[in-house]
């Protein structure tokens, strides 16, 4: 068997493996659905260590979410930017954080004093039943899920004494680091080198999940290709 024949045999086997992986992945998505999630928080210093119990928060000051946004890709909605059902809540921080001044204003643009004057704030416990319903039995996708979003949600569940539903996490940042280690992997950088929007700034949770939905679908597209997918 010559080199060309060996290559064709290898490629056929590779395509077969990829086809099986995609079929399995599609079945999982059809059964559970995919939800894209992002938080904005009062702050985030800290060290990224997802193997530890609380990731960002182990042994550190805990920071509360001030915005949660979700896109449920199992529900089409032609009235939204993403084309799917979108949710966004501005949250009243826990009372323990009303007096704190170490807000991540440079990241999301909100100072404590300005934010607490908003009239559209809701309590986490009031929206939690709907949040739990949306997340239940889904695959939840976030950019830096294992380094940040997972820890935020777990800490909030403990702080507010609620029980999280059962769902799976996927981390697009973690996946892209493995797929394209030579690239930059912030969501803004990924949006640029994937060719979506060079002006994307982010750090509004709804804007972030709208962009992350595009990134997630592009990753799925890449995984359906038997050959490597290159970006200029």
Q: Are 151 and 57 in contact (CB under 8 A)?
A: yes
Residue 50 has pLDDT above 70, yes or no: no
Mean pLDDT over 4-24 rounds to 45
pLDDT tier, 107 (very low <50, low <70, confident <90, very high otherwise): low
Question: What is the Rg, in whole angstroms, of the alpha carbon atoms belonging to the chain?
Answer: 20
Least trusted range by pLDDT, from 1-10, 153-162, 202-211: 1-10
Q: What are 100's two structure tokens?
A: 């704190």
In this predicted structure, the answer to whether residue 122 has a pLDDT above a threshold of 70 is yes
Mean pLDDT of 33-58: 63
User: Which pLDDT belongs to residue 184?
Assistant: 94
Residues in Cβ contact with 97 at an 8 Å cutoff, skipping those fewer than 6 apart: 42, 63, 64
- What is the residue-wise DSSP string for the chain? --HHHHHHHHHHHHHHHHHHHHHHHHHHHHHH-EEEEEEEES---S---TTSTTGGGTTS----EEEEEEEEEEEE-TTSSSSEEEEEEEBPPPGGGSS-----HHHH---HHHHTT-S--B-HHHHHHHHHHHHTTSEEEETTIIIIIHHHHHHHHHHHT-PPPP-EEEEHHHHHHHH-TTS--SHHHHHHHTTS-TT----SHHHHHHHHHHHHHHHHHHHT-SS-----
pLDDT at 26: 41
Cα dihedral: 51, 30, 214, 225 (round 10): 90
In the structure, what pLDDT confidence band is assigned to residue 53 with cuts at 50, 70 and 90?
very low
Q: How confident is the model over 171-197, as pLDDT tens digits?
A: 999 999 999 999 999 998 999 999 987
Q: Contact 231/194 with Cβ under 8 angstroms?
A: yes
pLDDT confidence bin for 27, thresholds 50/70/90: very low
What are the CA-CA distances from residue 221 to residues 65, 90, 186, 218, 226 (Å)? 32, 32, 20, 5, 11
Position with higher pLDDT, 189 vs 2: 189
pTM: 0.74
Q: b/e string for 208-220 if b means 16 or more Cβ within 10 A?
A: bbbbbbbbbebbe
Is-contact 43 102, C-beta < 8 A? yes
CA distance 44 to 64: 9
Q: Is 9 a residue whose pLDDT tops 70? A: no
- Span 135-148, mean pLDDT? 94
- pLDDT of residue 28 exceeding 60, the answer is no
Average pLDDT along the chain: 77
């Amino acid at each position: 068997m010559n080199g060309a024949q060996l290559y064709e045999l290898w490629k056929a086997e590779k395509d077969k493996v990829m086809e099986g992986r995609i079929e399995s992945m599609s079945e999982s998505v059809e059964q559970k659905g995919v939800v894209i999630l992002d938080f904005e928080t009062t702050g985030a210093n800290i060290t990224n260590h997802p193997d530890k119990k609380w990731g960002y928060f182990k042994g550190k000051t805990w920071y509360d979410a001030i915005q949660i946004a979700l896109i449920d890709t199992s529900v089409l909605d032609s009235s939204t930017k993403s084309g799917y059902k979108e949710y966004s809540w501005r949250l009243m921080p826990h009372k323990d954080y009303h007096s704190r001044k170490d807000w991540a204003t440079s990241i999301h643009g909100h100072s404590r004093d300005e934010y607490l004057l908003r009239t559209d704030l809701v309590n986490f416990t009031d929206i939690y039943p709907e949040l739990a319903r949306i997340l239940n039995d889904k695959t939840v996708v976030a950019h830096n899920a294992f380094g940040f979003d997972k820890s935020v949600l777990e800490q909030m569940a403990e702080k507010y004494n609620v029980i999280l539903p059962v769902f799976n996490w996927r981390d697009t940042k973690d996946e892209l680091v493995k797929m394209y280690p030579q690239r930059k992997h912030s969501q803004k950088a990924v949006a640029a080198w994937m060719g979506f929007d060079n002006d994307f700034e982010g750090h509004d949770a709804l804007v972030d999940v709208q962009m992350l939905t595009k990134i997630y679908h592009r990753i799925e597209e890449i995984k359906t290709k038997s050959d490597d997918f290159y970006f200029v």
